[in-house]
Structure 1
Amino acid sequence: MWCLELLLPVLLIIHDADSQWNVWVPRDISAMTNSCVVIPCTFMYPSSIRPYRGIHGIWYFGQPYPQLFPPVVFKSRTDVVHESYKGRTKLLGDLNQRNCTLLIGNIGAEHSGKYYFRADLGGANIYTYPDFAELKVLDQPTIDVPEEIVSDENLELTCYVPDNCPDMTPEIQWMYTDYLPDPEFSSDYVEESNTAVMSSTLAFVPRPMHNGQLLGCRVYYPNTTLVYERLISLDIKYAPRSVWVNISSEVMEGSSVTLHCEVDSNPPPRISWMFGDQELLWDTASNVSLSLDDVTPKSEGIYTCVGDNGYGVMNTSLYLSVRYPPREPVVNESLTVQQGTSLALHCSTQGNPAPTLTWLKDGELVGTITADELSVLEVMEITPQGDGQYRCLAENEHGRASSSFNITVEYPPVLLEESKCTVVREGVQCVCMATGNPEFYLADLNITINETDNRYNFYTHTDGHMSTGMIKLREKGERVNNGGPAVNVHCSISNMYGRESVLLELQQESKKVHDGSHRWHHWRGSGHSLHHCSSQICGPKQQELKTELLGSKFNSILEETTGEDGDFQPVGPMAGLERQELNYAALEFIGVRPREGAPGRGDDGGNYMEIKAK
């Protein structure tokens, strides 16, 4: 050990003793304060010199040259010494035997330094030896600590104390070893050239938990009050043994969050914050914080803190969840499909927590409510009633969003039961009502009336998928008598998906007298539908039904052709026809708009056409 080398004396080898002034002293020697120390010393001088009146000796402190007036430690011819050495020094050796060994007792820190010996053989034979012994006065023992202490590796600590005082023998104890794992103790004693060192070695295997622990070496001298102690703090190097981070957390989109990481290791590690394979931040410290501002859903994921101090690597991860309201759902484009088609309607969105998805059709709930980011609404064999607006509504605790699209269902036209011919005050009125998609419009009209020159008006109106056509015959002659002519109207409608037609028949009304009241019997509809009612009971309701079916644009027409009291009156001018049959050609509505050059629209907004009888 280095301390042994410091305490071992340096021997000056004299090759020619007859011609040299030489001295042997330990170069380094140590002692504890308030104890004593013996400095071994042997000197030589040329053999040709014969000491005159014996040999005298002087010990100096600090300087070897008397002209510089160094403090006198000991002087053999007189007891005149420096104040700090009075009563403290004694020559143990016999100068005549060339032994200059010196004892210094009750030494203090001020006595540390270099000591020189000067030989006086009488006359001019006085010589100060340039070699010196350097005394170190210690106030505590020395503990030899390795430069690096690594966890789980064997460790030896050695406590040294000088033993250079003949009257006082030191003893060594270790302190604060109760919590060490299986400590072992051993002692050693080294003596060379009249200097000695006593030592005690403590051996054990340190753990990370022992980092920073105090250990002590105590030296005491039996039968005295002298006690010396030395304390050290263990600096144990160990790999990261724990990496602490925030628990997995939730944060709202657009807010800020700070992630903390603390690593237990020695020395402090290089701490890195990783997001996937990307290193976001690093520093050499025991703890590092990562700040995230204005977080987005892209900030969601696993964040890992890695600690590496050269002795090992350790990491811990956390999951950062970013909460946000649902995004605008992605849905189908608007569709046009044929009746009977089966559909799969998709709605997808993103949100945290996962949103609930609700399907609405024209504001009404359809399907089931799902808690997921994808919902599929199955529509099997869609009917015309499936036509409308479909909306997907996404909701979670942070907000809602929706998207909509339209489904248009195309289907063959269907003639409605409201299609009929009716005798009104001024003639005959036939109405043809149908629904279908795509929309259909009047394309052509051909009316043939036998043996009459009456004028006819024709009207059409379309409202969504509903179309209505009406022919009105205005008679100018006398009203028809009982048993007037029968009217046959053929109404047909078609589009790209199909065609439907029906024959509307009207039998002339007859007047019957019974108990002073007038009742009219009406047969109306498609020829297979019979309806009977009295004018007093059915008249106003009949007009109301017509108004509802034909739409507001036909109100004025219906009012004009109906009696003031709502009763259906006999058609007088038709009596002259005497059961002559009126033939009304087909009214056809096909899937095209009126061709150019067709008659324009009247004030009521419907298509208007006036046809003269051929």
Structure 2
Amino acid sequence: MAINTYAHLTSSQCITCQVHAGYSINVPPSVRVQEGLCVTIPCNFTAAYRNTFSNSFGYWRREPPDSYYIVATNDKSSPGRKPNFYLTGNPDTGDCSLKITNARKEDAGIYFFRFEENKNSPVKFGFNDKAKTTVTVIDLTEEPVISDPWTVIAGINKTLTCTPPGNCSATALVIQWKKSNVAGVWENSSNVTFTPSLYDLQENITCQMTNSNRTTTEKTILLDVCCPPAMIITWEIKEKKRNKATSITVNEGSSVTLRCSLQSNLPLNMTWMDGKNDILQHGTGTELELRLGNVTMNHTGTYTCSALTKHVINFTSINVTVQYPPRNMEITIKSSKGREHSANRQVVINQTDTLTFTCKVDGNPAVSVVWVKGEVDTEIPKTSNSELSAMINVTSSMPDVYRCLAWNALGLKEQRIHVKQGNPEKTATPWSGDIAIGFVCGMGITILILLLYKLTTRKKWTKKVTYMTSEEPSASMEPPIQDIYMNVNKPKEKAEEATNNNIQLDSPGVTLDDLHYSTVAFTTKSSKVPSSHLETVYTEVKVK
């Protein structure tokens, strides 16, 4: 970066100069900058008694022998401009500050500022009378700056940054790193990242800075690698010795004390947290306890102790596992016919059915689960199958008491099912009776509808259909029960009969083609009808 050195003023020199009525400038008469570094020349001015303008332009020029060459401006249409000179000020606010980067020997010279309000304004002025600035470029002597070299922790990545002095982005400088326990150049960059270890203790790290004239300066630091304080967690349960471990198993209902200790002489901020990063305990010192009383399943998890040092947070953890006897036993009963039974203490099985009993249970340590048939006491096997469920199939030939047994080192749990033979429709489900009642009611309604339909249909036929015959039935002939006979004679065959019976054929709308004769007999009982009782009935039928 850069270093600014201002010359002392003499009687003929000034920092603020009134060079003309209404025109003044405040600028240092001389500055010095080291080769390869940067310098900012502060500058502000007034023109026409004002320091606020619009769309104005500023120009920094170099005096002869460069024929007033423009080195920096905000006028993009202006030729010239040196690549390492920048007008950083805004002329619209009366700011004419100039910045020089990567200073070179040939940049030395005398410079002055010229102002133009805009292209069409008469306010134009060159501050080249008693308001010049002399720039001197001297040899590079300043050392580079290494950022934050004092917080080096073993095992934690560290980044060091080497920069030129004076807050300057000097791109022409070459930065290199060297390390006393590494041969040659360690890194060619302004930044270096490494993981320090105890072997780096008291080692030298050097940053070298070289300009375009091959002048080199350097800065060396001595690594002071420190270690985070060691942390240990011990636990203590009633009637058990205090131990060091990364995990612990606790029986449900008991209490345990977790103790976090620091191997440090300085008191530090310490914190106990659970797996959800909730703070459970906080304190300052070298030891912090956490007591878990009346432990339940909810206490299972990871507990972390952390300590905040000046430069780093150190932490260590312990896993707590809670043991409990078998619990949450669940029995399901499914029929081979796809029906699911409620797990009552008594179940009825049909002769054609097979029931599958499944028993599930929870527990820690691992639970062993078996089905046992009968009421006889059974000795728990010494070996564990470490299964959380067991299954058995039961048929109608196997009525008995079935027991689900689940056990681990902390206890035993049992549940019984009594299986009986019988009609599952009567007792298997509470809603089987409702189904039967619904079925009977449905059948009754169906039969009633059919009877009503048949009666209605029969009445229609009784009104509209007659027995029709061309000859009178003989006396010995017995009409069939519920049979309907129909014979429609031609008009000519019955015309004479109609005449004999005084039937008027000349009635309006009646012709011989429209006249038909039939004999109709209705019988509902098996009885003989003498021919002498038979009567012929004539009716008029119109065809529409």
Same fold (TM over 0.5): no
TM-score normalised according to structure 2 size: 0.31
Structure with the bigger RCO (C-alpha within 8 Å, sep 6+) is 1
Larger Rg over CA atoms:
1
- Identify, as 1 or 2, the structure richer in strand: 1
TM-score normalised according to structure 1 size: 0.28
